[in-house]
A and B are shown apart, each in its own frame.
Chain A
């Protein structure tokens, strides 16, 4: 019976843990998506865009290790490279390249979200 109670606790921990991590990752991904959607929709590079991208970069680098526990390392690396490139393009005033890379990040995020939610 000891094993049974242990497995019940483990099972409930797994369920609650997955719900919590799912919620956490979805929230973070939505945040990054919003930032890069705003870059795609922007008409010209403004201080607000630069600030929001730099904040997203900082947050991403802080969360990177944590995210790697739940998301494929390849996806994390793709996002990381694209964020750095976007920041660089923003400083060089290359809006079209920024938009291109933002679309790439959005598609990676969508891919991750799809993997996380699909069961079929």
Chain B
């Protein structure tokens, strides 16, 4: 029994640590400790169901222990902000005034596609429309749209598509916005950049583009 208690304790904190290291986007809508608990409890439950020769306590004790840890974690996080940061992390601003914070992106191991997907899910297609985008501790992205975007951005009928992402060209997207490769090359010439230097180039149906260069981190 003692070995079960110790094993559960070790596994709880190990999986918790692994999830914190793996990054927020793996969590979905859970907090790290919720996710660990849910995952471990579901596995522990199946152990005694699949192996009827094992005593029920082999699953019951670890599950109760995990519930205790889960409550301890939430109470400790409530009382101590530093520990809360260690356990759950803190929200991070990933886009501010339409500019992508690349160091945060690197820390959270977010890709451009993750960001664009989060924006699209909030009906936002232009990077300039985002005043603030915050990656929450549960891995979801909250977006506060720029209030002036409605008047400042001349939106095209066809929304912008990503043409260059992280130095790699996606010319197959050009077909959607009726733009040719030579037009893209002209933009690159005008901006005096090569595709390798570009983090994100988006072009809409009117040929308007948004260019974010890679930062040296």
Chain A residues in the interface with B (C-beta under 8 A)? 1, 3-4, 6-8, 10-11, 14-15, 17-19, 21-22, 25, 68-74, 115-119
Q: Any chain A CB within 8 A of the CB of B71? A: yes
Q: Are B67 and A10 in contact (CB under 8 A)?
A: yes
Q: Smallest CB–CB gap between B205 and chain A, Å?
A: 54
Write 11 A-B pairs (CB below 8 A) sorted by A numbering.
Answer: A6-B71, A7-B71, A7-B72, A14-B65, A68-B55, A70-B57, A72-B54, A72-B55, A73-B54, A73-B55, A115-B3
Beta-carbon nearest neighbor of A117 in chain B? B3
Q: Are B3 and A118 in contact (CB under 8 A)?
A: yes
Chain B residues in the interface with A (C-beta under 8 A)? 1-7, 10, 52-57, 61, 64-65, 67-68, 71-72, 75
Q: Are B55 and A4 in contact (CB under 8 A)?
A: no
Give the residue of A3, A4, A18, A69 whose beta carbon is less than 8 angstroms from that of B2: A18
Q: Closest 9 interchain pairs by CB?
A: A7-B71, A18-B1, A11-B68, A7-B68, A73-B53, A4-B75, A74-B53, A22-B2, A119-B6
Q: Are A72 and B4 in contact (CB under 8 A)?
A: no
Chain A residues in 8 Å Cβ range of B64: 10, 14
A-B contact count (CB 8 A): 61
Chain A residues in 8 Å Cβ range of B61: 14, 18
New A-B contacts (19) at CB < 8 Å, excluding given A4-B75, A116-B2: A1-B75, A3-B71, A4-B71, A6-B71, A10-B67, A10-B68, A11-B65, A11-B72, A14-B68, A18-B61, A68-B55, A69-B57, A71-B55, A72-B54, A72-B55, A73-B54, A73-B55, A115-B3, A119-B7
Chain A residues in 8 Å Cβ range of B10: 119
Beta-carbon nearest neighbor of B54 in chain A? A72
Chain B residues in 8 Å Cβ range of A11: 65, 68, 72
* A22 to B57 CA separation, bound complex (whole angstroms): 13
Q: Are B71 and A14 in contact (CB under 8 A)?
A: no
Chain B residues in 8 Å Cβ range of A74: 53
* A10 to B64 CA separation, bound complex (whole angstroms): 8
* A73 to B2 CA separation, bound complex (whole angstroms): 19
Chain B residues in 8 Å Cβ range of A118: 3
Q: Are B1 and A21 in contact (CB under 8 A)?
A: yes
Give the residue of B3, B53, B71, B72 whose beta carbon is less than 8 angstroms from that of A72: B53
Q: Smallest CB–CB gap between A5 and chain B, Å?
A: 10
Chain B residues in 8 Å Cβ range of A15: 5
Chain A residues in 8 Å Cβ range of B7: 119
* A67 to B3 CA separation, bound complex (whole angstroms): 17
Beta-carbon nearest neighbor of B67 in chain A? A7
> Which interface residue of B2, B10, B65 has the most chain A CB atoms within 10 A?
B2
* A25 to B2 CA separation, bound complex (whole angstroms): 11
Chain A residues in 8 Å Cβ range of B68: 7-8, 10-11, 14
